[in-house]
Structure 1
Amino acid sequence: MEGKEEDVRLGANKFSERQPIGTAAQSDKDYKEPPPAPLFEPGELTSWSFYRAGIAEFMATFLFLYITILTVMGVVKSNSKCSTVGIQGIAWAFGGMIFALVYCTAGISGGHINPAVTFGLFLARKLSLTRALFYMVMQCLGAICGAGVVKGYQKGLYESNGGGANVVAPGYTKGDGLGAEIVGTFILVYTVFSATDAKRNARDSHVPILAPLPIGFAVFLVHLATIPITGTGINPARSLGAAIIYNKKHAWDDHWIFWVGPFIGAALAAIYHQIVIRAIPFKSRP
């Protein structure tokens, strides 16, 4: 018992009553903050790991579009939504695929599978501009191929049921759609930052293992809320792939919303997490 009392006394004296908050609390860290990624990193272009990561992003986005667009087609073709998985099933398909694919590719490319996620992480200096642009191109190509395969073996059904393209639903304005995409993407990218936070990873060993789960749930919940408004984009590659393969005028009328909204939402999430939540100072302390 004496030993335990000594431990308690030492613990009580080790930390003063007044603890620093905000940026002042970042001294004596018990974890190591990864250094900011360089803006340009030409050396990446000669590395196989760079291209392997791009291929992983392509394949993940391809599989993501393939499963999710097939699910959407299965729901919209039916006269009775009770005979299908319904909106909840569509939301589960999107969220479940993100959960599985982030788990599979996180160790290779980071498991972005979304240009908005890549953009938010780039703003936070988690990856270089070189890698960010490469990821976005590969994600868009994967999405186009995924939607193209779905159309390839059920063309009539695909073209007669909207092709899974994102549009602002009747009864909603373009402003409504833009707002839904901004907030929805903010939720997703904020979850990505929180689930992959270096501080949490260092202190909670289970966080890296569980990171895909909250990200998938965020996608699921956002889809439940915004499918009736925009069909839920929150992923410019997903919206672009479906629009290109479907290629009808109304699919392009509101297409800008599914780029502008997610990029604004991702930027706001990056700012909120880095400056407010993490309280990263603008100037380093002497």
Structure 2
Amino acid sequence: MAKDVEAAAGHGEYAVKDYTDPPPAPLIDWEELTKWSLYRAAIAEFIATMLFLYVTVATVIGYKHQSDPDVNPTDAACSGVGILGIAWAFGGMIFILVYCTAGISGGHINPAVTFGLFLARKVSLIRALLYMIAQCLGAICGVGLVKGFQKAFFVRYGGGANELSDGYSKGTGLAAEIIGTFVLVYTVFSATDPKRSARDSHVPVLAPLPIGFAVFMVHLATIPITGTGINPARSFGAAVIYNKDKAWDDQWIFWVGPLIGAAIAAAYHQYILRAGAVKALGSFRSNA
């Protein structure tokens, strides 16, 4: 049991609040494979990622069609939802889906988030792998639905696939994905921190909101560079259904960048903000 000391409001005194960090998840928990809760959570991740890709990719393709000069020659630049609307679609859907699935699967909807939580020992390796598979399959199905409903526009407008934009180097694209995913995963850790939950009882209820806003803000910054991945399943699902060389050539950026960004965010939160390294060193010294 850890204790948090903070000043009492309006007084010069200090109050002690108790909070409990959940025990680290086992690296490999074979018993999980016998539990329905694991498969229920994986199904929730599959459905959530499918819905996420369906709505967001449909928004991207719809915007490109509405702003196509050949379709709307008089007012193409001002037609459709615009970059701001696309960012809202991604951030808003994450807010909705995290809210809906947080109590079932944790509301990851992103292999990079799952990877970061695995590194922090919040989920086991078995659960992490099953989540990632479910997320990628859900993404493929979600984009497949878009292609089925908008077949005439899907290939013409890029299939919602992430590609490095002209004028940017691969290093710039990789850095954008690392930083963007760091912002997202850092927000996930902060919004779900049990220490904050003990300090502010409303934090668990509001957790999906800052996570959705993080996705929204990152999209505003990186759509011009990479179209914004920060979610390997999102990039992979679109690449599979679109299946063009450029999307596959750049695919590594949308896996390596997010996984590095998630790892940095996990280390920063666990070992710097939560002082994991200092606590471990103190425990070692006390046992010496």
Report the Cα distance in structure 1 between the residues aligned to 2:14 and 2:269, rounded to whole angstroms. Answer: 30
- Identify the residue that residue 20 of structure 2 maps to in structure 1: 32
CA deviations 1:204-236 (Å, max 9, x no partner) are 110000000000000000000000000000000
Q: Distance in 2 between matches of 1:68 and 1:14?
A: 47
Aligned to 2:50, the other structure's residue is in SS state helix
Q: How does 1:196-275 map to 2 (within 5 A)?
A: 196-275=192-271
TM-score normalised over the length of structure 2: 0.89
1:245 and 1:12 map into 2 onto residues whose CA distance is 61
| 1:46 equivalent in structure 2 | 34
CA distance in 2, matches of 1:13, 1:118: 40
Deviation, 1:12, is 5.5
* Native 8 Å contact 1:75 1:81 kept in 2: no
Whole-Å separation in 2 of the counterparts to 1:81 and 1:120 = 39
Partner of 1:282: 280
* Structure 2 match to 1:24: none
1:103-252 to structure 2, matched below 5 A, reads 103-252=99-248
Provide the C-alpha distance between the structure 1 equivalents of 2:190 and 2:14, rounded to a whole number of angstroms: 29
The alpha-carbon deviation at position 29 of structure 1 amounts to 6.3
Select the residue among 38, 42, 45 that pairs with 1:57: 45
Deviation at residue 284 of structure 1 after TM alignment: 5.8
Give CA-to-partner distance per residue, 1:261-281, whole Å, 9 cap, x none: 000000000000001111112
Amino acid at match of 1:70: A
Paired amino acid for 1:69: V
Aligned amino acid, residue 54 of structure 1? A
- Which residue type is aligned with residue 50 of structure 1? L
| SS of aligned partner of 2:103 | coil
The alpha-carbon deviation at position 282 of structure 1 amounts to: 2.6
**Offset, 1:156:** 2.4
SS of structure 2 residue aligned to 1:34: coil
Moved over 3 A (4+): 11-15
* Amino acid paired to 2:80: T
Larger-gyration structure (1/2): 1
For 1:267, the aligned partner's letter is: A
Within 1, Cα distance between the matches of 2:12 and 2:259?
Answer: 47
Q: Who is 2:96 aligned against?
A: 100
Number of aligned positions between the proteins: 265
TM-score, normalised on structure 1? 0.90
- What is the distance in 2 between the residues matched to 1:102 and 1:154? 27
Give the Cα separation in 1 of the matches to 2:190 and 2:182: 12
Structure 2 distance, partners of 1:14, 1:112, is: 36
**CA distance in 1 between partners of 2:13 and 2:158 (Å):** 66
Query: How far apart are the structure 2 equivalents of 1:87 and 1:198?
Result: 35
Displacement of 1:76 in angstroms is: 1.1
Q: What percentage of aligned pairs have identical amino acids? A: 71
Aligned amino acid, residue 182 of structure 2 = F
Structure 1: which 5+ runs fail to align? Answer: 1-7, 16-27
Structure 2: give runs of 5+ residues left out of the alignment: 1-7, 69-75
Maintained 8 Å contact 1:31/1:199? yes
Change beyond 3 A, Cα 1:83–1:14: closer
Point out the more displaced range, 119-128 or 80-89.
Answer: 80-89
For residues 70 and 165 of structure 1, the distance between their equivalents in structure 2, rounded to whole angstroms, comes to 11
Q: Report the more deviating stretch, 29-38 or 262-271.
A: 29-38
Other-structure match for 2:59: 71
